[in-house]
Amino acid sequence: MSWRKDQGRAERGYHHGNLKEALLQAALDLISKKGPAGFTFADAARMAGVSPAAPYRHFRDRDELIASIAQRGFEQFESLLTQAWDDGRPDTVTAFERVGKAYLAFAREEPAFYSAMFESGLPVDSNPTLMAASERAFAIIRAAAERLAALAPPGMPRPPAMMMALHIWSMSHGVASLFGRGDAARRKLPMSPEDLLEAEVLIYLRGLGFPTERRPGAAPTDEKPSGDRSGPWGKAK
């Protein structure tokens, strides 16, 4: 936070000094308030205290600004997922669930990033660096799926990790985009999005033959659980 000029209204000369950052920040504010459609290039400029033409020195057009935000979003997303996955500690299933929760937390706490990344209608394949960032984020989920697949019970055919990763991603995105954000598209739920997704993933993993009873402790040993008889939907009302 060592900006040379305080953001916005502070007296500043002809040159802003940090316009690109200020515009990205303003856009994030605006998008989180009014969605990516409601966000306006001119508004961001106004919020940064510059003329409507100034942003064009830093972004080819409005779409490029949104793409920049999506790019940063994927980077933060990747970092968050990496941290949640924590290389599968303390055990694979626990870490996997933590990734699911992190996914929802990101969608809820960074709605502007999430919208820019998944709901802005930008053609993903038009921007190679954007697609690369997106794939790096997905790679975390895929790596986690790989580890999970590796310890599939020997009796069953091993599921393809890529498919598992896509399944998990679609569940997470489905829950996040239908029920995840408080403001828009609110629909009544009998349980929290987090619990809904957790149950969904646990049932899915059980369908693949994984033991999904409550994990006993922190140790990666997959033992029989104690007397906790609650299934994956223990928290449903």
Partner DNA sequence: CAGCTCATGTGAACGGCTTTTACATGAGCC
Partner DNA sequence: GGCTCATGTAAAAGCCGTTCACATGAGCTG
Q: Which does 153 bind (CB under 5 to 8 A by kind): DNA, its own copies, none?
A: none
56 in contact with DNA (CB under 7 A): yes
Q: Is residue 132 involved in binding its own copies (CB under 8 A)? A: no
User: How far apart are the C-alpha atoms of 12 and 16, rounded to whole Å?
Assistant: 7
Q: Should residue 58 be labelled a site residue for DNA when binding is judged by CB under 7 A?
A: yes
Among 7, 35, 54, 214, binds DNA (CB under 7 A): 54
Asked if 57 touches DNA (CB under 7 A), the answer is: yes
Binding segment for DNA among 7-15, 87-95, 129-137, 205-213 (CB under 7 A)?
Answer: 7-15
Instruction: Compute the Cα dihedral for 37, 42, 46, 48 and give only its sign.
Output: positive
Which does residue 204 touch among its own copies, DNA, none (CB within 5 to 8 A, set by kind)? Answer: its own copies
C-alpha triplet 153, 159, 164: angle, nearest 5°:
115
51 makes contact, choosing from DNA, its own copies, none, with CB < 5 to 8 Å by partner type, with DNA
208 binds, among DNA, its own copies, none (CB under 5 to 8 A by kind): its own copies
Of residues 42, 132, 150, 203, which one binds its own copies by CB under 8 A? 203
- By rule CB under 8 A, what count of residues binds its own copies? 54
Contact between residue 76 and residue 198 where contact means Cβ atoms under 8 Å apart = no
Q: Is 14 in the site for DNA (CB under 7 A)?
A: yes
Contact stretch for DNA (CB under 7 A) within 49-57, 69-77, 98-106, 164-172: 49-57
Nearest to 230 by CA among 219, 206, 214: 214
- The pair of three-digit structure tokens given for residue 40, joined into one six-digit string: 């306006």
Encoded amino acid at 207, one letter: G
State the virtual CA torsion across 161, 195, 35, 70 in degrees, nearest 10: -30
For helices 62-85 and 128-150, what crossing angle results, to 10°? 20
Q: What is the dihedral of CA 104, 105, 109, 113, to 10 degrees?
A: -60
CB of 3 to its own copies, least distance (A): 32
**Rg of the chain over all Cα atoms, to the nearest angstrom:** 21
User: Residues interacting with DNA, by CB under 7 A?
Assistant: 13-17, 19, 40-43, 49-54, 56-58, 61-63
